Amino acid sequence: MHPQTRSAKPGKAVDCGMDLEPVYAEAQPPGQSPTNIIHLSDSVARMIGLRTESVRRASLSQGLRLSGRIAADDARQYRIIAGSDGWVRHLGQNSAGTMVQKNEMLASYYTSNLLGASQSFLYAVSANEQSPTLGGYGGLQKGSGSLSLQVATDSLRVLGMSEHQIETLKTSREATPEIQVYSPANGFVVSRTVSPEQRLDRGVELYRIADLSHVWVLAQVFEKDYAIVKPGIMAGFHYAGREFHARMSNALPQFDAQSRTFRARFEVDNPGIVLRPDMFVDLEVGSDAGDSDVLAVAADAVLNSGRTSVVYVDLGEGRYEPRLIQTGRHMGQMVEVASGLKEGDRVVVGGNFMLDSESRLRNVPPSQETATMASPKQQPKPQAMAVSAASMDAMPMEPGSMGRSK
């Protein structure tokens, strides 16, 4: 049957031959338009699975789920730079991706100026040990031996010798022509740019080490959720059977114009180095923002067309009214109602799609193609009418007879 065809007289539809069903005008309360109110009997309401719930006040303090990516803490990344020209003499088994320990030797390279600088340092150490400590003003050590030791130590640092190797040189008292590269912390080799017997230039990056005992979780936050995610808020996630608690840093979130999202940064301790860079986790952010008592309705009750949001309000006695509302934030299975409803109103949460279809059918204008009557020589065939939900109750119903022509 075609719902756009209508007739003022009973008969059969000219397009499909089905019997026309009457639609009766029903009394409406004052001030309400008959085309906006839908009438359903109890049997029809049960048949379409119609359910209603009350509009109530609810709390917005609910969690937000975000997708996060593990990243190394910038403040815990170490770049090891060649302090002088030379070539690689020794290289350990520490390619990118390897876990290394603090003060573990990574490589060594020869430099021509180091041997003389090492001998000068050892001479200065011996001279400083033999010279007496001068007290005087403020207990300061003022002697030629200590000054020479400081100059010699700075010369080794300029050539690229680490504090660990300087202490080793001071203990062993053996001059060396090689710079030994040690790991500055327990961490993860992010990159290695050297190979055996490679020629080095001063200022070249040899290694990049990331300390993963404390990492970042970078999460994408949509604009509508930005008010919830604030510096200091806590978030939790699970990985490998362990629970982690992260705190959002005070850094200002960066906005990505292409994805229209903010990049929030959470910081979390990583005992056992379980979390590795570029892993993905699901963050559960606890919301301390938002109102604790707002008007809300079930999300299933709202029919969103993109521009408007409609709910069907139960007026009692089988009457249902479509009503435009203004919605706010979503909170799980609830939606904030900014206007259009009041507390205690009952709205349809099940079967509202059937009500919406019936509301649209009643507002379809008559078809111009079927507005003309049949030829006088033939029996008059009136235009078809839209089948209303109210007429469904008056129709004789038999099992298995739904949707069949008479």
Domain chopping of the chain, boundaries: 38-60+293-362, 64-73+215-285, 117-173
Phi and psi torsions of 23, nearest 5°: -120, 115
- Residue pair 150/189 in contact by the 8 Å Cβ criterion: no
- List, in order, residues 6 or more apart from 173 with CB less than 8 Å away: 122, 125
Report CA-CA distances (Å) from 283 to 64, 241, 279, 287, 288: 8, 15, 13, 12, 15
How far apart are the C-alpha atoms of 118 and 155, rounded to whole Å?
A: 9
**Which residues, given as ranges, of the chain have pLDDT below 70?**
1-5, 23-35, 60-63, 131-145, 287-292, 332, 361-406
Phi and psi torsions of 52, nearest 5°: -130, 155
Confidence (pLDDT) at 268: 95
Confidence (pLDDT) at 25: 53
The CATH number of 38-60+293-362 is 2.40.420.20
**What does the pLDDT look like over 204-219, one tens digit per residue?**
999 999 999 999 999 9
Confidence (pLDDT) at 59: 73
The CATH number of 64-73+215-285 is 2.40.30.170
- Residue pair 337/53 in contact by the 8 Å Cβ criterion: no
- CB neighbour class for 33 (10 Å; exposed up to 12, middle 13-18, buried from 19): exposed
Confidence (pLDDT) at 211: 92
